[in-house]
A and B are shown apart, each in its own frame.
Chain A
């Protein structure tokens, strides 16, 4: 008899002792939207389910009443036993939390047999994608510099304002009206950015618009990051343009003074610190 165990926390974040009634209810398969195409269609045969406070205790009642002191929580254990003869299927329960005669919360618990195998991600294309695309790689420049020139930046500081440049072009043979672009995110990077949208307007065939967004490095940002920019134009579906940009690591630990200039590097520089050592 396969046994499936779940640990669920039951909290009392209030200043009063509270009584909690827990119960298990079979979940409606409609609640599993998104997973259902990949899940087995069959239902597992559940022999019994139980909620217990002691993980070693055997109990087959689908409800439990507990009392919690103020600002405490406890773990409860849900045990689901299924019939070994059915090898393939799904069983799902909602563990429902009832307090003061009201259902106040809960958790979905699901048993899947055989073990759920992650399906590979798919590419989901829109019906009418916006034709705008990247004219070149993405890069970073100093604020107010010419965005059409990717110049190497020296002296990256720990916290520094820069501009991300995304060259956007119209690769078609007709003008694209109502073109817009916004920065959705910078991937997993800790670099901060100012959100905003470029109202490009009409972009002629072959023209390149150099969209820029102000970004601010943080002390320990990763040098490589992966911006995602969304572009759109009239009568088309917006699309994501993904790229890679690079910010060199700071060579010295420097700080800015109140006027934005680097303070004396005498005792801020890694090299100087090493020499003193």
Chain B
């Protein structure tokens, strides 16, 4: 799959017809505007940029996940759980093949994650677990490594206590668009009412690690550690205990939420409500209808509960409470971030298309969905406080670029606001320019 955007060059190259300053009120992104000259004091001029998707990949609004019944989290494998140091250093390679985990005694260096190929990534030492007990797992998407011990201090001798570390193996884009850099670690900890094993820890897709075990205060202690959450990484909760009541964790297909379903064996079983935790912000949330949070949580009813995603939209998910169905919005893909960004700068015109004479930012706008072989006119407002001031020079050149906001699928090709910007890469498909006049 190749993602590729184009802003059509002009002929000559400094007259792209895909960049049109206009005073028209263009109702649809599918309609072409007509060109207007710009006056210095204009407040009604938008720059319209025509963006073509010439790759073989839709950009934005498409859901990367399937539909179907929400699955249980995947418990850390028993092969990745030991209760004592091995006799000799042991190594396990990441399934995706970039990193390896070595664990051994303190005398031989303790536990460490390193790149398989020297210099091929970050290295991180976890020290040595005091009790020798550890369990670990690799996220399926290769983005992080989760590691649990009872601690590495001399006083950390209680195997009911656990300390979870999630090591970012790649840069991870957080839900607010910021980035957790490769090599950074987020942590969670707790103390169960009994010694922990690998079965107390599970992967909620590639979005979170769920820790659950008996709470010394009663019920089940749960912690959900969410690497993509920007502020608070860990949600802490308690699932109440009750006669005939069992809790079943379930993960939405994109793992954007983890739901705890109360399974009530009989009508006489303890009452409990569905609980939902967002992995985007590590906080308890509610199912929504028309994007409005439900006024009250969904109550469990006697029977076997289930949650199923039917479609990615409003009322797209069925919550079977144990015999009664409640329709709610799909928490995964009713909203899909991303799409395409278009940014426009302007420079004083010169005879070289790559020259940067006093770059001024004009503005940025978004295209929510760019389908393969489609073209849309993106309306870019002038967000510069000087508006269309021409600095005494009538001849200017608009420089337009298109890219994806994730910074990786199609990176932003040029930063005109850098201290010393390089030449505008007009030769790239997703960049183009147009001479304009800004009249006094």
A interface list, Cβ under 8 A from B: 6-11, 13, 20, 22, 31, 33-35, 37, 73, 94-97, 104-110, 116, 118-126, 129, 144, 146-148, 161, 180-190, 193-203, 207-212, 214, 228, 230, 237-240, 259-260
Contacts and interface: CB of A to CB of B under 8 A. Distances in A.
Q: What 10 pairs across the A-B complex have the smallest Cβ distances?
A: A182-B368, A201-B313, A34-B35, A121-B23, A97-B351, A126-B28, A197-B368, A195-B366, A197-B61, A196-B337
Contacts of B351: 8-11, 20, 22, 95-97, 105-107
Contact of B335 (A116, A124, A198): A198
A107 B61 contact: no
B366 A182 contact: yes
B292 A198 contact: no
Interface residues of B, number: 84
B61 A123 contact: no
B30 interface: yes
Given A196-B337, A238-B30, A11 B395 contact: no
A6 B23 contact: no
Contacts of A211: 291
Contacts, number: 240
B411 to A, nearest CB: 16
A226 to B, nearest CB: 8
A72 to B, nearest CB: 11
Contacts of B231: 259-260
Interface string B52-83: 00000000110100000000000000000000
A11 B31 contact: no
A120 B24 CA distance: 8
A161 B231 CA distance: 12
A54 B338 CA distance: 52
B290 A210 contact: yes
A171 to B, nearest CB: 16
B335 A185 contact: no
Interface of B: 10-15, 17, 20, 22-37, 39, 44, 60-61, 63, 176-177, 231-232, 281, 283, 285, 290-293, 311-316, 333-339, 341, 348-357, 363-369, 376, 378-383, 393, 395, 405, 423, 435, 437
Contacts of B313: 199-202
B435 A107 contact: yes
A184 B356 CA distance: 27
B339 A197 contact: yes
B379 A9 contact: no
A188 B63 contact: no
Contacts of A13: 352, 354-356, 423
SS class of chain A's interface: helix, strand, loop or mixed? Answer: strand
Contacts of A195: 60, 337-339, 341, 366, 368, 405
Given A188-B383, A196-B368, A201 B30 contact: no
B37 A121 contact: no
A120 B37 CA distance: 11
A110 B288 CA distance: 58
Contacts of A107: 14, 349-351, 395, 435
A108 B350 contact: no
Given A125-B28, A199-B313, 7 more contacts: A9-B355, A109-B395, A121-B24, A126-B31, A147-B292, A185-B364, A210-B292
B333 A199 contact: yes
Contacts of B349: 8-9, 107
B21 to A, nearest CB: 10
Contacts of A37: 34
A80 to B, nearest CB: 14
A168 to B, nearest CB: 10
Contact of B29 (A33, A196, A207, A230): A230
Nearest to B366: A195
Contacts of B27: 123-126, 129, 239-240
11 contacts: A13-B423, A33-B17, A73-B350, A94-B12, A96-B12, A106-B14, A121-B25, A185-B363, A196-B368, A228-B381, A238-B28
Contacts of B15: 31, 108
Contacts of B29: 184, 230, 238, 240
A148 B367 CA distance: 26
A96 B380 CA distance: 29
A35 B366 contact: no
A240 B355 contact: no
Given A13-B352, A107-B351, A188-B383, A118 B37 contact: yes
